[in-house]
Structure 1
Amino acid sequence: MDNQEFYRGTWAEVDLDAIEQNVKSFKKYVSNEVSVMAVVKANGYGHGAVAVAQKALRAGAEYLAVAILDEAIALREAGIEAPILVLGWVPPIYAEVAARNGITLTVFQEKWLEEAASILGKTLLNIHLKIDTGMGRLGIKEEDEAKQLIECLATHSSFYVEGFYTHFATADEPGNPFIEIQIDKFEKLASFLKENGLQPKWVHLGNSAGSIRVPKRIGNLIRLGISMYGLSPSQEMKSIQPFKLNAAFRLYSQVVHVKKMMAGEPISYGSTYHTSEGEWIGTIPIGYADGWIRKLSDAYVLVNGERAPIVGRICMDQFMVRLPSKIEVGTKVTLIGKEGSEEITIDDIAERLETINYEIPCMIGPRVPRLFKEYGEKKGVMNTILKK
């Protein structure tokens, strides 16, 4: 842990070179006319929004996307000048804040336009119109709604319609034909908008899964989210991935206490585990307050390349493991990552928790510092950058 600037024995490592390679792989896979929008919402899916955004832009991404205005402002405050789209709904009273910071907003409501226009005055705001083609979340559904928006936009000079987009609901299910229905709905409504005078610079349909499945039918911009971080959009997508994805996230801690136990001694809250004679127990300083939730109490970690099962209930800040043998305090522990011939992947944790891989890095909280790693100019030398 070179250049350490934190004070606990738990940290995550983010391989920025993996981010770069994943962006470049997608750029090579899709048409030359298609650009990349790097999705860095939720603190870059738990990887660190600023560092990931900077690396993605250097790798060739042209646009960034976040979920809320606060995330976009944070990127601007970090000195990032690239275009940023907020994918979620932003209260119209903050339209001027977005415009002042050069941030593009998602729009799909006539009332929103009216309220925002009264605040913006002569200030120009970039917007992307969201079309709901079957996600049922946000967006324009019918031509009547689109017509109202067109009429409203025609009466106000405060808006520049820079893009149209939609979001696929089942793109990560290769056997599900619903993606075709969504594409058809989008094309019809987008054509109606264009016929009535709106000519967007950007048209984007494809998330990571959609960009893999239908790379020639996703407009001229892809929204690269989960796969930018080296994770497949679903288990079913793995068999059709056209190139290797490089996982960027690893999670480590260390053993801070080791004790030899007698038979029948209880471990942790509720005394749910009792030791065997001569068993070695190690304490690891990470717990459910860091996102390593209690449901993982039947999981294991890697210590010196061997599996060490978690025993007893995971506490708020610590948990205990059954060690393969006596080890030294300070020994590194791998919670996500590879050690010797053993590996624990994010997909392994997601399967154990009966959820999707997206959720795992997102749930590792801000108490866990991120160490960003990338190769320097001298090949083989790693630079370590800490971002809290």
Structure 2
Amino acid sequence: MDAPDPTLRPLPDAEVVVDLDAVRHNVRRLRELVWGPPTDAGSGSSTGVGQVMVVVKADGYGHGMVPVARAARQAGAEWIGAATPAEALALREAGDTGRLLCWLAAPGHDFAPLVAADVDVTAYSTTQLEEVVRGARAAGRPARLQLKLDTGLSRGGAARDDWLPLITAARHAQDDGDVVVTGVWSHLACADEPGHPANAAQVAAFTEGLALVADAGLEPEVRHLANSAGALWLEDARHDLVRLGIAAYGLSPEPGVATSDELGLVPAMTVRGRLVMVKQLAEGDGVSYGHTWTAPAPTRVGLVPMGYGDGVPRHASSRAELLVTGVRRPVLGRVCMDQLVVEAPDAEAGDEVLLLGPGSSGEPTAADWARWSDTIGYEVVTRMGGRQVRSWVGER
């Protein structure tokens, strides 16, 4: 019996499709942009000495943490980044064995499972370092430890007055055999504005922190400051390793500086569905809650079974457009929890609707939705989910 043709399967009412070939392309393209072209055809290595980390926090920015991590490894990513310990351990349980960093743990966290799983953990303070040491002793092996310094984002990481105590304590813990300091890092606040003075200030502050690390006799494997925007536009921030977040998914960190197309990136997410029904409205009929949109003339509309419960931004009500029968049509009235109304003059019930994608067929992109919603593309793709079926193409 022949296997069923996957292209003939029924189209779900609401679906998120992630193109893993696009993820692999983006990782390779970004490596080339940051570190230079491959040294030879077919090689994943580049002329530069730098490494890349692909960040898969928040379930891979809504794209699926495990499939994206696997695709990133296949494209040559030396490191994977996961914000929380639970994310890191889930990756290990799924079979990831490469270098893996996590950085967001509340006080009292048990670091022993992370140490046992060979995950690089992050300390923001001497108190957290003590917890890492306890975890290492419980696991019976040294912890792979990275130190995070706050250089001006004023979020996670050791405050400047605490840098030297943390670095000194880490050196003592390494001398005692409880940790191996594998990295020192920080995070940029304004890298998506390449000319912002905070960038130069943070690069200078990080250089000061690295000098303290060197003075303490520590020789970490990697020093990293640059996120996607820093990797692309701030050469002085690159150091040994760059952390690729949103750009690995094909979205520009700031379309006003360079679009995805200009960077040679391919958005990996497509959100599509089917019209549940179509109907004819009369002039003067109000649509959706509050009747914020009223038909100025007889109008044919379609009902899409997705709403803010599935990640469609309510802020885009009466501003967004969808691709219906090959033409962009406006969303009419307020986006509801699980449905929205779109102009559909030529459509029938069951027809496909594209909410967002790479834009290659004329459909809206995440950047479009960000503009309509007064937000950023990161939020648009990360929140997509809910009751939508998620599938992946390009799996190996």
Q: Letter of the aligned partner of 2:252 in structure 1?
A: S
* Structure 1 residue runs of 4 or more that deviate by more than 4 Å after TM superposition: 3-8, 239-242, 338-341
Partner of 2:325: 304
Who is 1:342 aligned against? 362
1:95-114 equivalence runs, <5 A:
95-114=111-130
RMSD of aligned alpha carbons:
2.6
Please tell me whether the aligned partners of residues 266 and 275 of structure 1 are also in contact (alpha carbons under 8 angstroms): yes
Contact 2:328 2:363 (8 Å CA) reproduced: no
Q: Give the aligned partner of residue 200 of structure 1.
A: 220
- In the alignment, which residue of structure 1 is the partner of 2:197? 177
Q: Greater CA deviation, 97-106 or 52-61?
A: 97-106
Shift of 1:279: 2.4
1:364 Cα deviation from its structure 2 partner: 0.9
Find 2:304's aligned residue among 271, 284, 307: 284
User: How far is 1:235 from its partner?
Assistant: 2.8
Give the drift of 1:67: 1.1
Q: Once the 2 structures are TM-superposed, how far is the Cα of residue 103 of structure 1 from its aligned partner?
A: 1.4
Q: Given that residues 11 and 273 in structure 2 are in contact (C-alpha distance below 8 angstroms), is that contact kept between their aligned partners in structure 1?
A: no
The one of 9, 14, 27 aligned to 1:10: 14
Q: How does 1:1-388 map to 2 (within 5 A)?
A: 2=6, 8-31=12-35, 32-121=48-137, 122-142=140-160, 145-151=163-169, 153-155=171-173, 156-215=176-235, 217-238=237-258, 243-275=263-295, 278-298=298-318, 299-325=320-346, 327-337=347-357, 342-374=362-394
Q: By how many angstroms is 1:83 displaced?
A: 1.7
Give the whole-Å Cα distance in 2 for the aligned partners of 1:114 and 1:339. Answer: 50
Distance in 2 between residues matched to 1:4 and 1:43, nearest whole Å: 28
| Counterpart AA for 1:303 | V
More strand by share: 1
- Between stretches 309-318 and 54-63, larger displacement belongs to 309-318
Question: How many Å separate the matches in 2 of 1:70 and 1:3?
Answer: 35
2:151 maps to a residue whose letter is T
- In the aligned structure 2, how far is the partner of 1:81 from the partner of 1:314? 42
Supply the AA of the counterpart residue of 2:101.
L
- Number of aligned residues: 375
Per the alignment, residue 378 of structure 1 pairs with none
Shift of the 232–189 alpha-carbon distance from structure 1 to 2, 3 Å rule, reads: same
2:43 aligned partner: none
| Cα separation, partners in 2 of 1:135 and 1:6, compared to 1, 3 Å | farther
Classify 1:315/1:141 alpha carbon distance in 2 versus 1 (closer, same or farther; 3 Å).
closer
Query: How far apart are 1:65 and its partner, in Å?
Result: 0.3
CA distance in 1 between counterparts of 2:261 and 2:340 reads 37
Between 141-150 and 293-302, report the one with greater CA deviation. Answer: 141-150
Q: Tell me which amino acid in the other structure corresponds to 2:31.
A: K
Q: Which amino acid aligns with 1:88?
A: L
- The 1-side partners of 2:274 and 2:13 are apart by 6
The AA in structure 1 aligned to 2:342 is: V
Identity among equivalent positions (%) equals: 35
Residues 94-113 of structure 1, C-alpha deviation per residue, up to 9 Å, x if partnerless?
21021122211111211112
- Structure 1 letter corresponding to 2:25: Q
Unaligned runs of 5+ in 2: 36-47
TM-score (norm 2): 0.87
What stretches of structure 1 of length at least 5 have no aligned partner?
A: 375-382
Q: In 1, Cα distance between the equivalents of 2:263 and 2:98?
A: 27
Tell me, yes or no, if the aligned pair for 1:6 and 1:369 is still in contact at 8 Å.
no
Question: 352-361 or 112-121: which moved more?
Answer: 112-121
What is the rounded CA distance, in whole Å, between the counterparts of 2:9 and 2:109 in structure 1?
A: 39
Shift, 1:243, TM fit: 3.6
Structure-2 change in CA distance of 1:203 and 1:242 (3 Å): farther
CA contact (8 A) 1:212 1:242 kept: no
CA contact 1:212–1:241 (8 Å) conserved in 2 = no
